[in-house]
A and B are shown apart, each in its own frame.
Chain A
Amino acid sequence: DQQVKQNSPSLSVQEGRISILNCDYTNSMFDYFLWYKKYPAEGPTFLISISSIKDKNEDGRFTVFLNKSAKHLSLHIVPSQPGDSAVYFCAASVGSGNTPLVFGKGTRLSVIA
């Protein structure tokens, strides 16, 4: 049973426009959510996170929105740049401690110049 779902395997956006990447989860115990970005032949890099006590977190061009009632989060990138082209993974965890992160399968974002 997949607890974290990224239903769009790929997304294409024009440079300068907004990219919206979506993630749904099924485990209501998740209380911390993260987004990672991955370029080919590199390890995933941490991008932004949000705790379940918030509904929005912003860092520069990146904003994560959390809708707990819908068990849905989204990553907004504004404006999108060609260097944002990568695979984006959503991840979730249950509290701090030993519980590992659970990852979605990823969404490949292509930003077209």
Chain B
Amino acid sequence: DAGITQSPRHKVTETGTPVTLRCHQTENHRYMYWYRQDPGHGLRLIHYSYGVKDTDKGEVSDGYSVSRSKTEDFLLTLESATSSQTSVYFCAIRQGGEETQYFGPGTRLLVL
């Protein structure tokens, strides 16, 4: 157990509304990541963070923003949700000096 929680675990929202997903870790890991998983696409990186207030874009960052004001929390925001953002979102952490990432339980998001 890597001490990662995600909230909410499930969410249904309407097109055009803002949505924020939270990833919380308890073990002071430096690196945090947001992925989405879709059928036929595997895991695709949205954004990642390598420290407080240090973030960078991943492969599929359009329509998403992130913030990391504390080591333990990494927030993913959909400014105006679209149906194409219906997906399962996973947060992951990585300790510095290691390559292995450890994943949270996921958030299932449905945009109607």
By a beta-carbon cutoff of 8 Å, the part of chain A in contact with chain B is 6, 32, 34, 36, 41-46, 49, 89, 91, 93, 96, 98, 100-101, 103-106
Contacts and interface: CB of A to CB of B under 8 A. Distances in A.
A46 B90 CA distance: 14
B100 A100 contact: no
B14 interface: no
Interface of B: 4, 31, 33, 35, 40-45, 48, 50, 56, 58, 90, 97-106
Contact of A43 (B31, B44, B103): B103
Select the residue from B31, B58, B100, B106 with max chain A CB neighbours within 10 A.
Answer: B100
B107 to A, nearest CB: 10
* Chain A contact residues: helix, strand, loop or mixed: loop
Contact of A103 (B42, B50, B104): B42
Nearest to A31: B99
A42 B106 contact: yes
A100 B98 contact: no
A105 B40 contact: yes
B33 A100 contact: yes
A34 B50 contact: no
Contact of B58 (A44, A45, A96, A100): A100
Given A44-B90, A89-B43, A98-B56, A34 B103 contact: no
B50 A106 contact: no
Contacts of B106: 41-43
